[in-house]
Structure 1
Amino acid sequence: MSEIVVYELDKPGAARSSAGPASGAERRVRKVHAAPAAPGSHTATGPRTLCGKDTFAMETADWRPSAHPGAPWYPEEHASVVCPDCDAVMET
């Protein structure tokens, strides 16, 4: 499998209050997408996710689906925010 898991993160300051986390704090994962690897690479993400979104501002996950046979393609802790379009492609 040459797909790479990428995270679409909340925009900085989107859910921040005056008492919120300091700058540089970890941002919350908004959506989990799958993207093909860039041509000629197994670790670099291609320019678009399987649902067509630009991967430029997304963060690459450490999770590799091929390293977890029998598990879902995404990290289970993010199951509630999986992109339904990427999931549909990955299930076929």
Structure 2
Amino acid sequence: MFRVVIRGENYLVNLTGEPQLLGFHVTHYVKSEDEGTAGTIARIRTRQDRHLHESLLNPPENPSRLECASVKKVWWRRGRENGRYQFWEMSPGAHDSSRE
């Protein structure tokens, strides 16, 4: 079992009725043979999140970014964290690397 933290940036979404440019972290607990596969599974889960996908407004010339922030082997899953998003506002064109 792995605890994978996914970092998303440049997500133009409509979560509150008004478009906002947001970044986020989301934690997934993944059963996998290795770290690389766990990261891939967690990215797929994030991309397939129905609520996030339906809210996404990015045009093709301004794509969102998604990467693994960390992958750590764990012995059990903490249910409160699993799939919980933590959002922050981004400035247009900004790459916020201080939120690791």
**How does the TM-score come out when normalised to structure 1?**
0.35
Higher strand residue share: 2
TM, length-normalised to structure 2: 0.33
